[in-house]
Every structure is written in structure tokens, then in C-alpha cells.
Structure 1
Amino acid sequence: MREPLLVASDLDGTLLGPLAHLSEGTRSAVAAVTAAGVPFVLATARPPRWTHPISDRLGLDGYAVTANGALIHHLGERRAVRSWPLDPVLLADAASALTKAIPGCSFAVELSPEHAPEFPDGVFLTELEHPIGWPEPLLPGGSLAHAPRAEVLGRPAVKLLVQRAGVPSAELCLAAEAVLAGAVDITYSGAGAMIELSAPGISKATGLRWVAERLGVNQADVLAFGDMPNDLDMIKWAGHGVAMANAHPDLRALADEVSTATNAEDGMAQVLARWFR
């Protein structure tokens, strides 16, 4: 493609190396993009509070696509700009169907400050009876709370997370699609035993499209990077979608390009060097 007018990247497994390490090579590559006047947009499954530690180190202060596209956040102003939550009725219906399809599964939700004002940075709310495991201590600035299932599902949420111990994400995804296809957007961002549900039609692609339109950038001029199934729609939508060398096979199969290097080898930075130095 010609020089992109907007660059978007997933965080974990793409921009970040193993153990969420931010390399100097990647920092320099992002700085070269922004120095050229091109917006660099983080597009992540993370909520804003787990995105800020990275965006601050990168010096980014524009829009970020968070919660798999369900929440557009302004990094500099530290505020939500637009959200597309799952409503409580849909949450309850989805949980009911999944409980039958995946006996023993447990639930959590990601709530934005808009719907959980007692948590100014948002909260990851899990069932008290069956708390979902999450690496909260590894991610600075997090809020984690537990509540009964009725309370977990009782407010609009930007994400519903589903876990069943011992069942891989890919299997959970297939089981969920069998009973919820079309009712919600179903994906996963890691190899662990967890899937992530968003409002129907909402993905990183819809979030990135909203940002691109807001910034006056055409789809053809968007360059995007990703590595997992929750990046599929974004990689497909972008004018030029790049899958990391370490990406999920489904992503590598549909991307316009597969980087020759992994996230541990600054693969994204190597591709960006084609246009930005």
C-alpha cells in the first residue's frame, strides 16, 4: 500500500512482546509514525485502565479502540467517547443459553464508568460463587470486584466473559456460537479457557471504522496489525491488514500480509519501517 494515513495495532501478542514487554524498537517505530503526523490507534481487548500504562509510555493521546471495539476511549482526556454495551436483558439471555450449553461455566463482565460510577476507571466484575481468573495483579491500574451472578449481569456491560475450567477458548467459542450465533459477537484473544462476547456486530473493525471516520481517513488508507481471532474483522476491514508471524492460523490465512518476524522480534516495527523511519 502507499503510505498509510492511520495505523492501528493490537497490544498483547502484537505490539507488545512476551510478558507484555514494550521494546525500544517498537517505541521508536510508533514515535516515527506519530512524528509523520499519522494517528496511531491502539485496538485492544483491554479496558482503558489497562491500556493507559502502554499508551502513556508511547506518548499517545488520541483515540483508542478498547474492549474489542465496544468502547472508544480518548487517551489524553481519559474519558469514554462512545460505547456499544450489551444490555442486561441480552446478558441474562446469553448467560442462560450458555449455562445449558456449557455446564459449569462462569461469567464476568467489564463495566465502564458510565454504568459503574462507583468505579471511576471501570471494573472487571466476576461471579462471587465462581470467580473467573484474570491476571489483574499483572496489569497496573486495575479494578476487580466480585458479586452474585444476578448483579454481575444486572447492568449494561461492554464485554461478557465466559470461562469453563479445562475447556480451551476455541472449543468454548464453538459451543457459544451453536446457541448464540447472530445474537452477540463471540471471539477470544488468548489461548486460555475464556471467550469474550460483545453486542451484536461490534468488533475492533467497527471501532476502528468509527475512529477512521472521525479522523477523516478512508478505509483504504488504514494499516492494521493483529495476532488473534479478536483481530480478524479489523485485519479484514483495514486497507492493509498484517498478521504477526506468531498469529493464529485463521488470521494468517486472511491477512493481506504476514510479517516475517514475531512480536518477540519487533515484527510490527519491521513492517512500519517500510514507510516510517
Structure 2
Amino acid sequence: MSIKLIAFDVDGTFVGDDHLKINEKNIEAMKMAHEQGIKVVMSTGRTQSISQKEIDDVGCVDYMVLSNGAIVVDKATNEVIKSSYISKEAGKKILKILVEHNAVFQIYAGQEAYVNKYSYDNFLNTEGLPEVFLVEYRKRMKLTKDLQEVVDNVPIEKFNVDYVDTKVVQEIMDALSKIPNLVYTAGFVGNIEITGTGADKGNGLAWLSDKLGIKAEEVMAFGDSGNDVTMLKWAGESYALVNGNEKAKSAAKHITKSDNNAGGVGEIIFENLTKNVK
């Protein structure tokens, strides 16, 4: 069956190890797929403001599944067409817990990444991510004096914890466990990604595909880590990057030959494009 939609994760999948540079092979493959009428979907744990440069670099993204599936956005109109937000009540509790434990975190809300001064000042201490990316990533954040105002007035997609003392991680998780209807994932040590129930990449991609009249077996998806698992399980043709973790590899139907630095995504797409032409 022909592929009608391609979904790709960003970090560890579509960009290189610096989390910034995209192998030209990946961009060329997406553009060629788009020219063949295939829908191109960026599916990422990032929110839109953090992803915008990569969206622009690809140049042919049709839809975005953002903040681990908390929202689905139509690129043509920038409209949120599906959402699984964290409630305001839960958001207030999460904010209190993270501030009390001196977590370095952002609130993804309204397609922006909001950060307070403490997190902004300590962000570069984040472990597990290259400094060149941290410097650039911080430029894309929205520094605010009052995160409580954000929680009160902006739809909350996700709390993204970048760094916290490992000694208090269990305390944080125990406190968060008392708040209903939350989902947790992690991309690296010290990272906690908090979303509302129903917010995962698999649900977001399945909903979008159904809206477009596309079946699971007509979807190709690429990912590398835990927050990609639901998407990789759902898509009919799913690929874990060879550099990905075991969770992603176990969930995917296939594994790429090349890694994220060498354009592993584009390589697979080019191989399949000829099969997609009738």
C-alpha cells in the first residue's frame, strides 16, 4: 500500500547530535515526498516556538504534532485543531511542586515556551544536551516574571523539566502522582516531561490521520526514544533510528541503516519513494 503521510520526530531523529543541524538528505527527501502528495508531519516533544526554525528549514511541513501530542496544529493556518491540555487546577499544583524543588523547567503553553528567571539563569547547567544547543534553545524561550499568570491565562500543553537534582526526582514524582490525569515521559537523565492524559504522539497522529482519511498502514513514522513509542507502535511503517534507545527499537517495525547525523530518515524515504509512485 502507498505511503500517504510521513511523521518524524526531531531530536535524535531528524536533527544531528547537536540538536540543530539537519542533514540535507532529510530535507531533500521530505520535499520530494511532499511533491508526490505525501503529507509531511513534524511530531515532536517541543512546542512550536522551539521548533519553528526546523519547521522553516524543512519548508514543506503540513501539520505539527507538538508537545508530545498535546496539540495538533495545521501549518497552513497555524490553528490548533486538536488539544489535550493540562487543566488549570493541575497546572497550579505542578508549578508549585517544581518551584519548591528548584527544578529548571519551562511551561509549554499557547505554542510558546515560558521560563522564569531562575530556570533561565540555570538552564545551561542542563546535563545530557550539548551546550551549543542549550545556548540556541534558550534564545527561543519566553522569559516571564510570573509563571502563575501563564498557568492562569494560557492553555498548558506541557511542563518540560530540563534539570533537577537527581536526589529529589523521586520526591517530585511522588508529589506529581497525587495529581490525576497526567502522563510522564523522559528524553534524558534529569528530564521529566509532564502532559495531560491523552497527550501522546500516537494519539495525535492517529487522530490527524483519521481526519485526513489516511489509514495506519499508509503512515510512515520515525523516532528514537520513549516519547515516540506510541507513534511507532501505531504507524504501519515505523522506523526507529539505529542510534535510538531500546524502547523505540522494540516499538518500531524497522530500524534505519544510518543514524540521525547521516540522514537515516531521508535514506529510508528515498528508498521507499519509488515504491510510492504508481
TM-score (norm 2): 0.81
Letter matched to residue 123 of structure 2: G
Structure 2 counterpart of 1:76: 76
Tell me the distance in 1 between the aligned counterparts of 2:223 and 2:238: 8
Tell me the distance in 2 between the aligned counterparts of 1:48 and 1:157: 13
Report which stretch shifted further, 53-62 or 33-42. 53-62
Contact 2:50 2:140 in 1 (8 A): yes
Structure 2 counterpart of 1:63: 63
Structure 2 counterpart of 1:224: 221
- Cα deviation, residue 106, structure 1: 5.0
Give the match's secondary structure for 2:15: coil
Tell me the distance in 1 between the aligned counterparts of 2:57 and 2:162: 32
Letter matched to residue 159 of structure 2: L
Structure 2 counterpart of 1:124: 113
Q: Which residues of structure 2 form unaligned runs of 5+? A: 125-132
Q: Which residues of structure 1 form unaligned runs of 5+? A: 113-121
Tell me the distance in 2 between the aligned counterparts of 1:47 and 1:221: 26
Structure 1 counterpart of 2:130: none
Tell me the distance in 1 between the aligned counterparts of 2:146 and 2:258: 44
Tell me the distance in 1 between the aligned counterparts of 2:217 and 2:113: 35
Tell me the distance in 2 between the aligned counterparts of 1:180 and 1:174: 10
Contact 2:106 2:119 in 1 (8 A): no
Letter matched to residue 9 of structure 2: D
Structure 2 counterpart of 1:154: 152
Give the match's secondary structure for 2:166: coil
Report which stretch shifted further, 88-97 or 210-219. 88-97
Tell me the distance in 2 between the aligned counterparts of 1:73 and 1:62: 9
Q: What CA deviation, in whole Å up to 9, does each residue of 1:69-107 have, x standing for no partner?
A: 11212223233333221111112334566788xx44354
Report which stretch shifted further, 15-24 or 255-264. 15-24
Tell me the distance in 2 between the aligned counterparts of 1:94 and 1:38: 39
Root-mean-square deviation over aligned CA pairs: 2.9
- Cα deviation, residue 21, structure 1: 0.9
2:185 to 182, 187, 208: 187
Report which stretch shifted further, 141-150 or 7-16. 141-150
- Give the structure with the higher percent helix: 2
Tell me the distance in 1 between the aligned counterparts of 2:171 and 2:231: 21
Structure 1 counterpart of 2:123: 133
Give the match's secondary structure for 2:249: helix
Cα 1:110/1:164, change in 2 over 3 Å: same
Give the match's secondary structure for 2:123: coil
Q: What CA deviation, in whole Å up to 9, does each residue of 1:158-193 have, x standing for no partner?
A: 11123543439xx9589637852862111123x252
Cα 1:172/1:140, change in 2 over 3 Å: closer
Give the match's secondary structure for 1:42: strand
Number of equivalences: 262
Contact 1:136 1:142 in 2 (8 A): no
TM-score (norm 1): 0.82
Report which stretch shifted further, 238-247 or 68-77. 68-77
- Cα deviation, residue 44, structure 1: 0.9
Tell me the distance in 2 between the aligned counterparts of 1:51 and 1:126: 16
Cα 1:176/1:140, change in 2 over 3 Å: closer
Tell me the distance in 1 between the aligned counterparts of 2:171 and 2:33: 38
Letter matched to residue 8 of structure 2: S
Give the match's secondary structure for 1:206: helix
Cα 1:7/1:183, change in 2 over 3 Å: same
- Cα deviation, residue 138, structure 1: 1.1
